[in-house]
Amino acid sequence: MGLIRRIWLLWALSCLLLGLGTAGVTLWRANLQALDAADVLARAHLALLQQQAASGTPLALEMPAKGMGWRVVGERGQVLGGQPAEAGPAVPVWFSAALAWGPRLQEAPVRWQGQPARLQVLVDTATAQAPLWSLAGALAGGWALFCALSAWLTWAWVARIRGPLQSILNQAQALMERRFTLAPEPNLPEWREMSRAMNSMVERLKTMFEEQTAQVDSLRRLAHCDGLTGLSNRPHFLGRLKSLLCSEDGSAGGALVLVRLCDLQNLNRQLGRLNTDRLLRQTTDCLLESAARWPGHEAGRLNGSDFALVLPDVQALREPAVDISARLRSVLKPQGVVAVVSVVRWWHGAPVSGLLAAADHALARAEARAPFAVEMDDGGDGLTLGEDSWTQRLEAALQHRRFHLVRYPVVDAAGQIVHWECPLRLELEPGGPLVPAAEWLPRARRAGLTGPIDLSVAELALQAIARDGHPRAVNVSIASLHNSALLPGLRALLQAHADAAPGLWLELPEAGAYRHLTPLRELVALAHTHGALVGLEHAGEDLEHVAELLETGLDFVKLDASLTEGVAANHAGLQHMDGVVHMLRGIGVKVYAEGVVTQADADALWRCGVDGITGPLVTAA
C-alpha cells in the first residue's frame, strides 16, 4: 500500500475511532442521567399517588408527566384501575436495544376500594429515550461536519507533501530513463533533505557519465582520428567508406573527393613544422565548411598530404569539387601553397579499391594541369531514370506490395539467435530482381514515401513474428519521424498485432538522430507502450551526443562495422570498443556489433562485453 493511501486509511480510522468514542461516552453519560431522572420522576409520582390513596381521594394525575402512567394491581395480579402513559416519539428498536433499558417501574402497597393492592408508576421507555435519540442525531451531524473539515485539511496537507514526493518519484523515474533532471527543493524539512540528497546523486551520476563519455570520445579520437586535424585516419575512413558502399539502407551513390597539398615535404622544410601544421588545419577547415552542405558526409586524412571526402546523394560532381577548390585557393594561394582536387562518382556495391584508383588517377591528371585544378571521373551508377519515373516505380511497388524482408541473424555469445535483422528489398518491376534499399531509399526520401514504406515493413515484420515467434529488427528512416501518419499507423499495427509487438525491434541510423530528439522520443514512448524496442544502428561516430540520444529511452545500440572490423589487431580501437560497451551497458543499454568478419574480432568483442554480433562471420555460419 502506498504512502498516500496509508495516510488516508489513518485518517479514516482516526475519524471512526473519534466519532465512536465521543458518541459512546456522551450517550453513556446521558443515558445514566436519563435513567436517574426517570427513577426520580417515577418515585415522585408514586408518592403523590400514595397521598391521594391515603386521603381517600380518587387516584389521578391532574398534570401527568409526558411518558408517565400508573396502574393498581390486585393481589392476584389483576389490573384494578389506572391511567396509561402518553405515547412518546418513536425511537428505533436497534437504538433502544443498544441502550439496554429494562422496565422503569416504581411501586408501593395501597388499599384500593378497601382491598390491599399495589400501586405501580410506569415510565414509557421510548419517551425517556427520545432526548437521547435526538442527542445521537446531533452527535452524528457534528461528527459528519468534523469529518468533512478534517478531510479538507488532510487533503490540503497530502497535496502539500504529494508535490515534493511526486517530484522525487519523477526524478527517480527520469534517472531510470537515463535523464539527469534536478528537482526543486520543497519547504518541508524531511522532503528537503531527501530532495537535496537525490539532486546530489543525480549531479554526481551526470558528472561521472560525462567524464566517461569524454574518456570514450578521447579513445575514439586516439583510435580512429588523425591527431593533427581530427579527421578520420586512413584505416577508419576506408572502413566507413566500405560500410557505406555495402550498407543495405545507405545511399545509392554520391561523390568521392580527394584533395592533395602539392610538394608537402618541401613545404615542411621551407615553412617549418608549426606553419605546415597550421596549413593542414586550414585545409581541413575548408573541407569541412564545404561538406557542411551535405548531411552524412565523411572526411578523412589518407596520408600526410592527401585528404578525402565522401558526399552521399550528390548528383552533380562538379559543384562540390569546384567549391572546395575555390575555398582552398582563397586560403592557400596567398601563402604560396598549391592544392589540386579530384572527384569521382561512387555507387552502392562499388569496390573501394577501384574507386580509390580512379580518384588517384584523376588527382594525377589535376597535378599535371595547373594549380588548384579540378578533375572529374563520372563513372555513373547505371541508374538513369528520372525522379518522376523513380517515384512512379516506388509507388507501384508499394501499392502492389512488391517488397520482401531478407533476414540476417544477430547471435549472442552462446550462438543463440537474439533476433533477425530484416532489411527491405523492393521489386521495382513485376518479376524483376529484389533491389536493396540503398538504391531506392534516397529517391523515396525525396518523394516523401519513407513513411508508408516503413509502415509496410513493420507490418511484414509483425506478421512474420506472429508466424514463428522470432524477434525481428527493421529499419525506420529518420525522414519518417516527421511523417504525420507514422505514429498513428504504427500504433494501429501494434494494437492489431499485440501478441507479436514485443518481438519488434525498430532501428534508426545514428547519423542525424540527435537532431530529431522530440519525434524520436515520441516513437520510443509509443513502442514501449506495446512492448516493442527502439535503438540505433551504424552507431559510434556521434558519441558526443550520446547523452541526448539515450535520454529518449533507447533500448539498444548497434556499433558500426567501421569500429568493429579489425578491432582484435588494433589496440587503441579495442580500448575504445571496451570503453563504449562498458559505458552503454552501465546505463542499461544493450550493445551489438555490426560487420564482424573474423573469429578473432568476434572473440575480442565478446571480451569487451557486447550482447550480440552480426556480420559475414555469423551469416556464413
Q: Averaging pLDDT over each range in 87-91, 436-440, 468-472, which range is the top one? A: 468-472
**Predicted confidence (pLDDT) per residue in 25-62, tens digit:** 776 676 666 666 666 656 666 676 666 666 666 655 44
**Is the per-residue pLDDT at 507 higher than 70?**
yes
CB-based contacts of 477, cutoff 8 Å, min separation 6: 249, 441, 444, 445, 450, 453, 454, 508
Q: Averaging pLDDT over each range in 14-28, 430-444, 509-523, 539-553, which range is the top one? A: 509-523
Strands (E), 529-568: 533-539, 556-559
Q: What is the pLDDT of residue 61?
A: 47
pTM: 0.71
User: Contact, 88 vs 66, CB < 8 A?
Assistant: yes
**Predicted confidence (pLDDT) per residue in 280-300, tens digit:** 999 999 999 998 888 778 899
Query: Across residues 185-195, what is the average pLDDT?
Result: 76
Percentage of the chain surpassing pLDDT 90? 26
Query: Across residues 222-244, what is the average pLDDT?
Result: 89
φ, ψ at 387 (rounded to 5°): -65, -40
SS3 labels along 367-429? HHHCCCCEEEECCCCCCCCCHHHHHHHHHHHHHCCCEEECCEEEECCCCCEEEEECCEEEECC
Four-CA torsion 14, 19, 21, 25, nearest 10 degrees: 160
User: Contact, 584 vs 591, CB < 8 A?
Assistant: yes
CA distance 311 to 115: 134
CA distance 587 to 209: 9
Q: Whose grid coordinates read 405501580? A: 120
Query: Across residues 503-532, what is the average pLDDT?
Result: 90
Query: Across residues 16-33, what is the average pLDDT?
Result: 75
The region of weakest confidence among 120-129, 262-271, 313-322, 541-550 is: 120-129
Q: Is pLDDT larger for residue 533 or for residue 124?
A: 533
Query: Across residues 128-151, what is the average pLDDT?
Result: 80
**Is the per-residue pLDDT at 158 higher than 50?**
yes
**Predicted confidence (pLDDT) per residue in 244-255, tens digit:** 888 777 777 889
Strands 472-475 vs 417-421: parallel, antiparallel or unpaired: parallel
Instruction: Tell me the DSSP string of 167-227.
Output: HHHHHHHHHHTT----PPPPSSHHHHHHHHHHHHHHHHHHHHHHHHHHHHHHHHHHHHB-T
pLDDT band at 189 (very low <50, low <70, confident <90, very high): confident
Query: Across residues 3-21, what is the average pLDDT?
Result: 81
pLDDT band at 392 (very low <50, low <70, confident <90, very high): confident
pLDDT band at 157 (very low <50, low <70, confident <90, very high): confident
CA distance 50 to 47: 5
Looking at the DSSP bridge assignments, the partners of residue 375 are: 342
pLDDT band at 81 (very low <50, low <70, confident <90, very high): low
Q: What is the pLDDT of residue 270?
A: 84
Q: What is the pLDDT of residue 535?
A: 93
Q: What is the pLDDT of residue 383?
A: 43
Domains and CATH numbers, the chain: 1-49+91-176 (no CATH), 253-377 (3.30.70.270), 387-620 (3.20.20.450)
- The grid coordinates of residue 291 equal 561538406
Q: What is the pLDDT of residue 621?
A: 64
CA distance 304 to 71: 132
CB-based contacts of 179, cutoff 8 Å, min separation 6: 551
**Predicted confidence (pLDDT) per residue in 319-335, tens digit:** 899 999 999 999 998 88
Question: What's the whole-number average pLDDT of the chain?
Answer: 82
**Is the per-residue pLDDT at 561 higher than 60?**
yes
**Is the per-residue pLDDT at 477 higher than 80?**
yes
**Is the per-residue pLDDT at 101 higher than 60?**
no
Q: What is the pLDDT of residue 527?
A: 94
Residue 560: how many CA atoms within 13 Å on its side-chain side?
28
- The grid coordinates of residue 427 equal 521489386
